[in-house]
Structure 1
Amino acid sequence: METVNRIDRLNKLIELNKKQLANKELDLIMSCLPEHPFLLELLIHPTLDLGRSEDTHVICTKLLSANPNSAEAFAGLAALSYQKEQYSNAEQLIWQAIEQEPQNSNLKFLAANIALQAGKQEEAVKLWSECLASDPDNENFQNMRWRFSYSKKKWKHSIELLVQALQKNPESKLEHEYLGKCYLLLGHPKRAAAFFKEALRINPEDDNLKESLKHALRSRFFFYGLGLRAIFTLVNSRKIYLILIVIAIILFFGWLRSIGYVHFTWPGFVLSTALLVFLLVLFSYTLIRPISNGFILFDPVGKKLFEDRLYKVEVAHFIAASGFTLILLIGFLSNGAQFFFPGFIVLFSLIQHVRITKQRIKAGMYGWSEKSILPITLLMSVVWTLGGESFAFAYLYLILVIMIFRFFTKGKI
């Protein structure tokens, strides 16, 4: 009787979204796991809701040892595989569950979701139709309409269906989340952010929602989307797109040469084109991302997504990247005015310094990096001012080479 009361209390805590207390309650239950199959079945859904995959696996395994034909155990393992995006394994397990209880609409509903994610839309539609025929008033079954629409990339139609679903259940985190996704895909990041914020209000512990909100807020910066597309195009896309971009850059350099803005020999022409292609990718991440973070840092909800220590570093990163971009533009428009070079190398190094510090904080290390490249950068700025241009240039090129190696080795060097 005590275990039943604990399970009831656990479910109430989950309903109230008190996950920390729910996890403590579940720890107490798991420390003295019941043997009765009925009690084990009651624990499957709470462990799935709390993301306790190991506990779910233990409970389902124990349940199968007590009852090898337990539909609940097979369904629990199927849901676990579904969460891990192991759709092939999830399909096998859910059909084993359906074999035990062929009339169970909830099992068929889970099978429809798995089939949809596995790309088997016809099978998913058939299963969903059976579910809806058995219980036409079930909200979960009705919501499959917008799921199908979303899977077919019909964003506007999905929004209409999601709004209808939301009117019936205004406190649904899922509908708010997918409305945000649809608006983001349609190019309305401000609306998307509003729905993600509402979803976070309902479930403030959802890390995926936090990342979605960050992405929506960053996307309000026009060049953020362009930067992401540049990275995708140059690194992951078809060769024809890369060739077209290189041709566009060559034509751009040719135009600059024709108006007398630059003077290149052909080897320098090719090398400069290759360098610009690389810098386009590099700066998309090094400059555009931290600048777009400003939309998060100065948003009342967005700034709470960062820890206090990390928030201060992100602000420093934003200031450094913004200043660097400004100096870069002024230098370019003034045909490489040498007056701006000291500030150029200082801010360039500050960006790297801030990135190192962020990595340290995320790794659980405190404070700014003791191996700061900032002092030597300031020294190089003085050297430049006193006429030692070659030393300052050598230092800048050294940093650039290090960044190139780190880019191609994914930060392992």
Structure 2
Amino acid sequence: MSNSGQDHVARGLLLYESHNYDRAEKEFALALVQDPEDARARSLLAICLLLRQEIREALHHVNEAIKFDPQCADAFHVKAIIELSRNHPEQARALEEQAIRLEPFYAPYFGHLSEIYFVMEKLNDSLKAAEHGLSIDPENINCINNRARVLVRLGRASDAEESMRFALAKEPENALSHTNLGWILLREGRIEEAMEHLKTGLRLAPNSDFAREGVVEAMKSRNRVYHVLLKATLAIYEMDARLRLVLLAVLFFFAPLRAFLIPVLILLWSSDQLFNTVLRFDPYGRLVLSEDQIRQSNFFIGLIAVVAALLLYAWMTRVSLLPEWK
């Protein structure tokens, strides 16, 4: 790479770290003008494109980076990030492991491997990867964040909160740290404090679904009924996969419990759509609901309307027959 190309990459990295992603993307593109075969610049450009949801173009650039330099660990790491964003965790895991083989002492790679295992619900592997990364760099924010997420799932929320406080002391403007801490506080019922951190996380990362969903849950959790339902839902989500299978077996094979569990599960399922619908009447709530949540709310409203119409029809039909019953 020419000195000019190196300068563009260096400037791009500074801009990226200050969350100025549009200008960072331009600098990485300028570096490629100087050297089209610069694998690192292509990988960094791919990350910026991913942030704009330009996934096809991001994949093109990262594949070119791997073609130009098959020993570039960053290229495999970036492709792993892209594949995970496409809900391909197995491919992401293989790519991240290749990045680690090429650069075995770089903590961020282990941080992302931990995230991949978390998505795959391999919690012990996720914890091991995060802690291995922290053995290389005890202050790596991604490893701290992913370790905290696993600890919450393992029922060690107080340890997770301590980790997040440490991470924010090191990097106060880290969106993921604020968001993770917000979710931890939300689970503990500290709703207003959780809301503060979740809003900060969303401000720092406006495209973060994790932060936006946290804000939505915090708003709904201000309602005591929903907060109880949320805790029940999270308890089911945080169950070991085998326990969830046992619950399903009970649901299908034990009729006495089925009569109790089915209404409870219906209530848990419908509570989210119900409170999303309520949030649509809140000025801030309308802003943070995703398109998918709005579609689910529309479906829920339509379903309720159909059920109400059927009940009304049944009631009216019964009334019209009353004289004949006499």
User: Normalising TM by the smaller chain, what interval?
Assistant: 0.5 to 0.7
Deviations 1:11-61 (A, max 9, x none): 555445455x45984897699793333532442443344443323311121
Return closer, same or farther for 1:103/1:155 CA change in 2, 3 Å cut-off.
Answer: closer
- Provide the residue aligned with 1:238 in structure 2: 248
- Provide the residue aligned with 1:221 in structure 2: 223
The separation in 2 between residues aligned to 1:162 and 1:214, in whole angstroms, is 21
1:75 to 77, 87, 110: 77
Return closer, same or farther for 1:10/1:287 CA change in 2, 3 Å cut-off.
Answer: same
- Provide the residue aligned with 1:35 in structure 2: 37
Return closer, same or farther for 1:3/1:194 CA change in 2, 3 Å cut-off.
Answer: same
State the one-letter code of the partner of 1:290: T
Return closer, same or farther for 1:136/1:246 CA change in 2, 3 Å cut-off.
Answer: closer
1:393 to 305, 309, 316: 316
2:277 to 272, 282, 290: 290
- Provide the residue aligned with 2:49 in structure 1: 47
Preserved CA contact (<8 Å) 1:184 1:192: yes
Preserved CA contact (<8 Å) 1:180 1:194: yes
Q: TM-score, normalised by structure 2?
A: 0.65
1:163 to 165, 170, 190: 165
Unaligned runs of 5+ in 2: 237-244, 320-326
- Provide the residue aligned with 2:323 in structure 1: none
The separation in 1 between residues aligned to 2:152 and 2:226, in whole angstroms, is 25
Number of residue pairs matched?
A: 294
Where 1:170 maps in the other structure, the secondary structure is coil
Larger radius of gyration: 1
Where 1:238 maps in the other structure, the secondary structure is helix
Unaligned runs of 5+ in 1: 250-273, 322-350, 357-376, 378-388, 397-413
Preserved CA contact (<8 Å) 1:223 1:288: no
1:182 to 181, 184, 197: 184
In the TM superposition, what is the alpha-carbon distance from 1:192 to its structure 2 partner?
2.3
Q: TM-score, normalised by structure 1?
A: 0.54
Return closer, same or farther for 1:65/1:286 CA change in 2, 3 Å cut-off.
Answer: closer
Kindly report which structure 2 residues correspond to 1:307-318, keeping only aligned pairs within 5 A, or say none.
none
Preserved CA contact (<8 Å) 2:108 2:140: no
- 1:92 and 2:75 are equivalent in the alignment: no
- Provide the residue aligned with 1:173 in structure 2: 175
State the one-letter code of the partner of 1:178: N
Where 1:35 maps in the other structure, the secondary structure is coil
